[in-house]
Amino acid sequence: MVSETDGRSMRERMLAGDLYIADDPELAAQSLRAMDLTDAFNATSARDPEQRRRLLTELLGEVGEGVEIRPPLRVDYGSHIRIGAGTFANFGLIALDVAPISIGADVQIGTNVQLLTPTHPIDPGLRRAKWEAAEPIVIGDNVWLGSGAIVLPGVTIGENTVVGAGAVVTRDLPANVVAVGNPARVVRSID
């Protein structure tokens, strides 16, 4: 079994990528803060881009110049997400940032894309005891994630890569390729 008495908080364990229990008062407070901010963001009018930008800047760890995210948006904490300049995310982005999510500059994200960092133990006893962990996601500059793509924990996608609609990215993708399918596989290079 996992020891809860190694001297670290559950937040410290989570950020280190180690097993932690999410039902922790500090993590619950941060999660509620993120839910309040995403609810406020999702309720904003498209005619009020300044309010949207203010809320995104308060919610996320870093928001580059010219970033546009169309509601609805869902995150776990928000503060572990960094988005580079000129990135666009269409409706329905889910970015579960238990571990860091880094999105480069000029990335195009289609509708209903999911960036999922959480993992759960295979051991049924640990799962029943509510232990979980996470692995970071890195999306390079100028990547295009097609609608409905799912990026799983620990994945890095290289710059200029295109991920087809509905693809499930289970492992790293190099730069300058097109990948499709479940699991996503490289079908060609981009010259």
Catalytic residues, by residue number, are 120
Q: Is the C-alpha dihedral spanning 82, 31, 155, 191 positive or negative?
A: negative
Beta sheet of 168-169, edge-to-edge order: 73-75, 93-96, 114-116, 150-151, 168-169
Q: How many CA atoms lie within 13 A of 138 on its CB side?
A: 9
Which position has the token pair 């860091």? Answer: 100
Q: Which residues contact 178 (CB under 8 A, 6 or more apart)?
A: 161, 162, 164, 186, 187, 188, 189, 190
Give the closest residue to 182 by CA, choosing from 150, 143, 158.
Answer: 150
Q: Which two tokens stand for residue 48?
A: 């009020």
Q: Give the DSSP H/E element, type plus range, for residue 144.
A: strand 144-145
